[in-house]
Amino acid sequence: MSHEFIDLQTVSHVQGVVRLPGSKSISNRILLLSALSQGQVAIVDLLASDDTAVMLAALRSLGVVWSEEKTATGTIHHVTGVAGVLPNKSADLFMGNAGTAIRPLTAALAVIGGDYTLHGVPRMHERPIGDLVDALNAAGTNVEYTGNPGFPPLHIKQGKITTRRLSVRGDVSSQFLTALLMVAPLMAKEHAITIDVIGELISKPYIEITLNLIRRFGVKVEQNGWESFTVQPGQVYQSPGTIHVEGDASSASYFLAAGAIGGGPVRVEGVGKHSIQGDVRFAAALEQMGAQITMGDNWIEARGNGVLKAIDADFNHIPDAAMTIAIAALYADGPSTLRNIASWRVKETDRIAAMATELRKVGAIVEEGADYIKVTPPAAITAATIDTYDDHRMAMCFSLVSLDGAARKGNLMRINDPKCVGKTFPDYFNVFAEIAK
């Protein structure tokens, strides 16, 4: 554990324009789809972060050729697709703590077959993958657990797809269904493949991102509501030529909330009203709390006018961005409740427990349940030292507690291990400082 920290001065007003880094969810999906497709793909504005570095390194180990080109306006990654046939039949892959990388890659390698090992940091070995592996193995793949059953590390061998239907639980992580959808065309060689979802499907907007991108790469997916998905045989991913990565809507949440809490206006560029990311719905939650939101094709702007209103709502559709609402609740006129967020418990850390612990440090009264958190704001926020649990979103969320200096002049907020933001937004604290001058 790093003992480094950053001290944030309290500020009473924020405003400015922020150009967002690329979306993590979109970046890692596009990387894998590009690798599996036929032809050359040029990816514009790929996120540069720990999680994408992990995916790029894994693809290189598998024999996928890619290069990075720096241009005046940003970066372009050129990927040469392998049309579903990986050059390297064996590899040892380190996946860090990147759920968006290990889950789809596990599915792809299991279906393609070979001799592959996948492992990550200790926390990755506590994040469930059993529902995905069970679904794959029931279909004929050969994936073994080399540590705790149900969790990485994994050893993948050669299998043979023998089924036409797979089923997967929808209520643990939407990444399991995403992984199966992305490899369905590889499975549907001779006949159609149908994936059935058991139980309620959580985080549906993330499945919408997946389906949108699969279709951009030329594969049709038939949908029966959220109950089942079918891919007809003989479809191969085709390069879309050039593809742009949208700005990260989850990262946008911190700056939009800052505008709502600290006056604003704060404008984020890179996402807008036509975004394929569900997390842009975060703006609607801020609006419910009394913030003024305006949107363009490629930007969203937030401003605040005084105290925010308390909120009681279901946040199943935006689990990552909802963490920022728990912080905005500190500035509300009464207790706020965030419901249906059980998936927080299996993320980079147990986010319900972590959020409750750290919110109490700054004076909030917090009630936590299996799938909800209730935050009663303090009369005045107390300066504190915040632990981040090697979780990028904890660090970014709690930067916002430095806003509204009136209540506690001169007191610093200390954030431990700020470098954990490297997972999705290495430059976060510098960018935040720009609007908090």
pLDDT recorded at residue 408 = 58
Nearest to 182 by CA among 272, 124, 105, 255: 105
pLDDT recorded at residue 21 = 94
CA–CA gap between residue 425 and residue 392 (Å, rounded): 8
CATH number of 5-21+247-435: 3.65.10.10
Which residues of the chain does CATH 3.65.10.10 include?
Answer: 5-21+247-435, 24-244
Contact in structure between 118 and 151 (CB atoms under 8 Å): no
**352 burial type by CB count under 10 A (0-12 exposed, 13-18 middle, 19+ buried):** buried
**409 burial type by CB count under 10 A (0-12 exposed, 13-18 middle, 19+ buried):** exposed
CATH superfamily ID and name for 24-244:
Enolpyruvate transferase domain (3.65.10.10)
CA torsion sign for 275, 281, 282, 287 is: positive
pLDDT recorded at residue 385 = 94
Q: What crossing angle do the helices spanning 50-61 and 99-112 adopt, rounded to 10°?
A: 20
Q: Say if residue 265 is preceded by a cis peptide, omega within 30 of 0.
A: yes
The pLDDT tens digits along the chain (437 residues) read 446 999 998 898 999 999 999 999 999 999 999 999 999 999 999 999 999 999 999 999 999 999 999 999 889 999 999 999 999 999 999 999 999 999 999 999 999 999 999 999 999 999 999 999 999 999 999 999 999 999 999 999 999 999 999 999 999 889 999 999 999 999 999 999 999 999 999 889 999 999 999 999 999 999 999 999 999 999 999 999 999 999 999 999 999 999 999 999 999 999 999 999 988 999 999 999 999 999 999 999 999 988 899 999 999 999 889 999 999 999 999 999 999 999 888 788 899 999 999 999 999 999 999 999 999 999 989 889 999 999 999 999 999 999 975 455 457 899 999 999 999 999 999 999 999 98
pLDDT recorded at residue 345 = 86
Which residues carry out catalysis? 320
Query: How are strands ordered across the β-sheet holding 154-157?
Result: 90-94, 115-119, 154-157, 142-145
pLDDT recorded at residue 3 = 62
pLDDT recorded at residue 405 = 56
pLDDT recorded at residue 1 = 45
Identify any residues that bridge with 135 across adjacent strands, giving them in sequence order.
none
pLDDT recorded at residue 407 = 52
pLDDT recorded at residue 412 = 83
Annotate 4-22 with three-state secondary structure. CEEEECCECCEEEEEECCE
CA–CA gap between residue 412 and residue 389 (Å, rounded): 20
pLDDT recorded at residue 142 = 98
pLDDT recorded at residue 108 = 98
Contact in structure between 217 and 41 (CB atoms under 8 Å): no
Per-position DSSP letters for 181-198, written without gaps between them:
HHHHHHH-SSS-EEEEEE
Query: How are strands ordered across the β-sheet holding 242-244?
Result: 65-71, 74-80, 40-44, 242-244
pTM score: 0.89
pLDDT recorded at residue 335 = 98
**238 burial type by CB count under 10 A (0-12 exposed, 13-18 middle, 19+ buried):** middle
Please enumerate in sequence order all residues whose Cβ is within 8 A of that of 328, keeping only pairs 6 or more positions apart, or say none.
Answer: 257, 260, 261, 286, 289, 308, 336, 400
CA–CA gap between residue 364 and residue 421 (Å, rounded): 24
Give the ranges where 299-361 is alpha helix by DSSP (H).
319-328, 351-361
CA–CA gap between residue 175 and residue 158 (Å, rounded): 23
Residue 111 backbone dihedrals phi, psi, to 5 degrees: -75, -40
